Amino acid sequence: MAGATRLETRRRDVIGKRRGRYTATEREIRSFGVDQLRDDNLETYWQSDGSQPHLVNIQFRRRTTVKMLCIYADYKSDESYTPSKISVRVGNNFHNLQEIRQLEMVEPSGWIHISLLNQRTNEPISTFMIQIAVLANHQNGRDTHMRQIKVYTPVEESSIGKFPRCTTVDFMMYRTIR
């Protein structure tokens, strides 16, 4: 799976901190809206209703550094509604989006981890907007189901709780609390 990477244990969900919002650019079925993408329930889903590509836009209030995008897909539950080809685009707004990843999925089941690191510098991308475009579905399906989307930023190191290393014998004697 091109562009996919292992999920690191240190990450922070951006949208969970109310820094951004999700929108869809086409009609969606009323009871299956973009709110289902964030409800942490793998049984619910967003369902598109219209012609492809189906778009989910994630907009941030200020430039945000992001390093990973995770999408939950389940072919066994969704069959022809399951995306098979996805494009990820980033930019400042709708007018300057650039594709940074395109991946094809074969009957996905579970979380798909998409790295948003700059391929030249290996640094996280800083952006105002992420667009996920579903370009094709399995079995040539028309509408799409997406169950969950999560966007992660790098965890910033904090000076709170950091202590200098104490290597002298006197310090080593008192390094643990009884």
Tens digits of residue pLDDT in 74-127: 999 999 999 999 999 999 999 999 999 999 999 999 999 999 999 899 999 999
Instruction: Tell me what pLDDT residue 77 has.
Output: 93
Compute the average pLDDT of residues 26-49: 77
The strand pairing partners of 160, in sequence order, are none
Rounded CA-CA distance 14/165 in Å is: 32
Does residue 4 surpass a pLDDT of 50? no
Q: How many other C-beta atoms can be found within 10 angstroms of the C-beta atom of residue 7?
A: 13
pLDDT at 33: 77
For residue 48 the two structure tokens come to 């598109």
pLDDT digits (tens, 9 = 90+) for 16-37: 544 566 666 555 555 577 788 8
Q: How far apart are CA 100 and CA 52, in angstroms?
A: 19
pLDDT at 5: 35
* Dihedral of alpha carbons 32, 35, 37, 38, sign: negative
* Global confidence as pTM: 0.74
3-state SS, residue 164? coil
Query: What is the tens place of the pLDDT at every residue in 154-166?
Result: 876 655 556 666 6
Tell me how far apart the alpha carbons of residues 50 and 125 are, in angstroms, rounded to a whole number.
31
**Mean pLDDT for the stretch of residues 134-161:** 84
The predicted pLDDT at position 1 comes to 39
The single residue listed with the structure tokens 């579905």 is 137
Residue 54: exposure state from Cβ atoms within 10 A (0-12, 13-18, ≥19) = buried
| Arithmetic mean of pLDDT over the chain | 81
Whether the CB-CB separation of 73 and 112 falls below 8 Å is answered with yes
φ/ψ bin of 77: left (φ > 0), alpha (ψ from -120 to 50), beta (otherwise): alpha
Please say if the pLDDT value at position 3 is more than 70: no
* Structure tokens that stand for 137 in this block: 């579905």
- The confidence score (pLDDT) of residue 8 equals 37
Are the CB atoms for 90 and 101 separated by under 8 Å? no
What mean pLDDT do residues 63-69 have?
94
What CATH number labels 12-173?
2.60.120.260
Domains of the chain by residue range: 12-173
Of the pLDDT bands very low, low, confident and very high (cuts 50, 70, 90), residue 7 is very low
Q: How far apart, in whole angstroms, are the C-alpha atoms of residue 1 and residue 83?
A: 14
Gap between the terminal Cα atoms of the chain: 50
Provide the pLDDT confidence category of residue 59 given band limits of 50, 70 and 90: very high
